Structure 1
């Protein structure tokens, strides 16, 4: 479990599938009101408080992004909630100290999205992907001072998804940004065949 602060009232939590399996939680459970998920959320909030000083007070908006093969990203925003009875989760009201009002939304991305701080890392991962014959495809964006590689998993042999993720994770980190956001607010560097183009242009 990895937690980072995005702003004063917003944090991002990255959960690997191993994190979920250790707690007996399936991906589909993340938007169900069950004790194991409530316990996981409490654990996440405790860790956010101890690591970042983030107080989970008042209403919380929770966005859950399911990422193929690498895990889930949970965005928690404090103080922004439009309560809908059908999709909010309430902890036991008798325990006032641990009451969270949450509105949970789930989005599933079919794209594998990884962010890289340095262009050298983008080149390095492209060479590894090509040499390993995992893919020559992909789209490359620039967004918020980072380089984002977007790869369509349908173009990858399913048995090699884990190898693809492991290689990308070695050089970068999973990101919850969507292709729609990248196309609207980011800059397209390579619109197709990014891995192939990077290997051609930077063959040293």
Structure 2
């Protein structure tokens, strides 16, 4: 489990499927209201407090993104207001709003172009198509669809990409709207051709 601060009132937690398996949780449990998911959330928030000083007060929103063969990304945002239905909340209480999304995209962000070039060289053998490349918030973002990956090679692809980049919860729609499209198709193959 990896915890990262995205802003003063927002954190990101990445859970691998091994993290979930160790706790006896599968991704379908997130769609149900089961005690072990509550225990995991409490563990996440405890780790966020210990590592980042992030405390839960007031209303919070939790977004959970299921990423194919990678795990889950949990985004926790604190609300600005401590008012709920016109009444002040007690400091130790919080209102919880959960959004669950499952993605058919594999999205990796690279903060260094050389890392992207190295990763592209390694992963092309697992790909039918090389995906799209965007530039967004100072990162190169590679977007692959499940259909871009050869059958049975998703785990190998994820393992290789994880060595050089980070799983990203950014959606393809956000990238299309706010990112700069650099290579519209077969991105990893184009990178290898031009930068090897």
Q: Give TM-score scaled by structure 1 length.
A: 0.87
Three-state SS of the structure 1 residue aligned to 2:130 is coil
CA displacement at 1:199 relative to structure 2: 1.0
In the other structure, the counterpart of 1:116 is 110
In the other structure, the counterpart of 1:65 is 65
Q: Does 2:28 correspond to 1:17?
A: no
Distance in 1 between residues matched to 2:104 and 2:160, nearest whole Å = 18
Which runs of 5 or more residues in structure 1 are unaligned?
84-95
Once the two structures are superposed, the pairs formed by residues 17-36 of structure 1 within 5 Å of their partners are 17-36=17-36
Q: Does 2:183 correspond to 1:190?
A: yes
CA displacement at 1:57 relative to structure 2: 1.5
Contact 1:134–1:164 (CA<8 Å) still a contact in 2? yes
Name whichever of 175-184 and 71-80 sits farther off: 71-80
CA displacement at 1:31 relative to structure 2: 3.1
Match for 1:134 among 83, 105, 126? 126
Three-state SS of the structure 2 residue aligned to 1:58 is coil
Match for 2:156 among 163, 167, 178? 163
Which runs of 5 or more residues in structure 2 are unaligned?
85-89
CA displacement at 1:36 relative to structure 2: 0.2
Contact 1:31–1:104 (CA<8 Å) still a contact in 2? no
Output one character per residue of 1:101-146: Cα deviation in whole Å (capped at 9) or x when no partner: 211111111010000010001111111112xx11151110000000
Say if 1:114 and 1:29 are closer, same or farther in 2 by CA, change over 3 A: same
Matched pairs, number: 189
Flag as ranges the 4+ runs of structure 1 deviating above 3 A: 80-83, 96-100
Say if 1:100 and 1:28 are closer, same or farther in 2 by CA, change over 3 A: farther
Say if 1:144 and 1:16 are closer, same or farther in 2 by CA, change over 3 A: same
Q: Give TM-score scaled by structure 2 length.
A: 0.91
Distance in 2 between residues matched to 1:22 and 1:167, nearest whole Å = 23
Across the aligned residues of Structure 1 and Structure 2, the Cα RMSD in angstroms comes to 1.8
CA displacement at 1:99 relative to structure 2: 4.5
Name whichever of 154-163 and 5-14 sits farther off: 154-163
